[in-house]
Amino acid sequence: MEYYLGIAQTIGIHALLGWSAYVLLLTGQLSLAQVGFFAIGAYVSAILTTMFGFHIVPALMVGALLGGFFAMLVGFPALRVKGLMLVVATIAFTQFVSLFFFNVHWRREVDGVMAGPDSTQGFREIRFYAANGWDTLDVTLFIWLFVLLVMVGLWWLDRSRAGAVLRAVGADDLAAQSSGINLTVAKVTAMTAGGVIAGLAGGLYAHSATYVDHLTFSVLLATFAIAYPIIGGIHNVLGTLAATIFIQGILIEGLRFLGDWRNILFGLLIILVMNLKPNGIMDARTMRAIKRIFAGGKTADSK
Amino acid sequence: MLTVGDVFTSYGMIKALNGVTLSASEGEITCLLGPNGAGKTTLMFTIAGILRAQAGSIKFDGQSIERLSAAKVVEAGIALVPENRLVFPTMSVEENLEAGAFIRVAKDRAGVDDDIERMYMRFPVLKERREQMAGTLSGGEQQMLALARALMSRPRILLMDEPSVGLAPLIVEDIFQIIRDVNADGMTILLVEQNANMALSVADKFYLLEHGRVTFEGAPGELEQDEVIRRAYLGTE
């Protein structure tokens, strides 16, 4: 059971990370900086709980807000670059953040023990959950509470005018501009929202892993972050969740019994999915099929 | 109504506009003809605030707009129908129309809904396809949608960049009929075209743009048709 709850936690955290990239993809921006914001959220919230005795909820909020703040800062210069140049610039940001935390040594004594990030040794003993007697189920539910909140929030955004604006910018920024949409506002807002979600995910990650170091925040993780919304499709928010479950739940955990063959099959399955579902797992067609099943169920009930 | 005074715009080192001066009067269709690379689209983008002029003035109803952002230019009452139509392909026809009314939809929901209905009356084919993805429309339908979307911002002047490009001759006739109709309802139009014959058939006044400069201005008929066409396609020299 613990094992499955652990997977559920990973899926929840990765889905949040995927959604942080999803918001940007709506505006047509491909960002590998999400892991940088994730790292900021992780370190900041863990510093607050371990070194300053914060409760986890305000600590997560501060981490998320700082993630959003840095995303906004990255957002302005990022407006000037597009496509591959944006990818490179955002990789640089993630590397910068990761190397920054690699060098942070800031320890302080709390209840007779030293706590805080210890540069190359990483940041150990992020023990808020254990210290407060939360068991694995509590933690999993706590994470999924945020997953649901963000999912509902994004679902609502997608349906609102703001979502239409973001999609318009993503579809064609020239046409969006000539419709009176302010590109700067739209893109920086999306960047900031993505940073908030990534920062939140980072805080949740640090506390459930209890240990983070700079290697956690790799370009590989950044690639996963954009892979979820791309494989899931940006037709709607469920795609990212479906892709996270597919990759983390099925490909990584479900195929563990295959040993070394897993990695080969992993790549193969991703290629297969991208060919069969070029617009994502949850594309318009899948959604129609799902709606049909539900509608079919209803008519059967009414008989 | 719209006056462009001695405008210079460049892309890095390359000068695209070398002091363009022209004006569009209220209620008229003003055409801008010229060969490829003459700077027609650059001028449209500069007026629309997408590109910045290095020098010169752009006045709309006496108000200077050359420093305004693209979004503010739309608010001032200028709408651009970009070249190649550029509808939002993954959004439905109706969503495209709503996007065009972006600047006022929060304040005036009812007015926007009325305008959408009005667009459906003017363009019945869009009504038939209201739920359809804009990317799946035919070229002519996309051009109508792009035009309708621009009208949704309730502009006082419409900038149209090559509405005929890539369309079959019969469809081009339709589009120009629509342009005449929109103008007959009082809309001021600045039209960029390569199709000189069609453009001259609707224009009240036209300009020839060559190498980033206006080389002729007058009413259709003031310059011999053959001469216009030669210079519109090939330029002088």
Q: Inspect the interface and report whether the beta carbons of B48 and A164 lie closer than 8 Å.
A: no
How far apart, in whole angstroms, are the C-alpha atoms of residue A168 and residue A162? Answer: 10
- Predicted TM-score (pTM) of this structure: 0.84
Coil, strand or helix at B140? helix
Under 8 Å between Cβ of B209 and B32: yes
pLDDT tier at B235, thresholds 50, 70, 90? low
Burial label, A117 (beta-carbon count in 10 A; 0-12, 13-18, 19+) = buried
User: Do the Cβ atoms of B105 and A161 come within 8 Å?
Assistant: yes
Strands, sheet with B55-60, edge to edge from the N-terminal-most edge strand: B14-24, B2-11, B55-60, B63-64
- A-chain residue closest to B72, CA distance: A180
Backbone angles phi, psi at B182, to 5 degrees: -60, -40
> Nearest Cβ partner of B99 from A174, A179, A183?
A179
Question: Nearest 5°: phi and psi at A86?
Answer: -65, -40
CB B65 within 8 A of CB B76: yes
Q: What is the pLDDT of residues A178-214, one digit of tens each?
A: 888 888 899 999 999 999 999 999 999 999 999 999 8
- Of all residues in chain B, the one with the smallest CA distance to A180 is B71
Angstrom distance (rounded) from CA A239 to CA A22: 10
- pLDDT for the residue numbered A297: 58
Domains, chain B: 2-85+156-234 (3.40.50.300)
> What is the pLDDT, as a whole number, of residue B237?
53
Higher pLDDT pick, B103 / B95: B95
Mutation target among B46, B72, B102 for the A interface, most CBs of A within 10 A: B102
CA distance A260 to B142: 52
Residues 169-198 of A with CB under 8 A from B: 171-172, 174-184
Residue A298 pLDDT grade (very low, low, confident, very high; cuts 50, 70, 90)? low
At B236, is the pLDDT very low, low, confident or very high (cuts 50, 70, 90)? low
- In angstroms, the CA A277 to CA B175 distance is 37
ipTM of model? 0.78
Q: Domains of chain A: which residue ranges?
A: 2-217
DSSP B81-137: E-TT----TTSBHHHHHHHHTTTTTTT-HHHHHHHHHHHHHH-HHHHHTTTSBGGGS
pLDDT, residue B136, reads 92
3-state secondary structure of B14: strand
Contact A17, A228 (CB under 8 A): yes
Nearest residue of chain B to residue A170 (CA atoms): B88
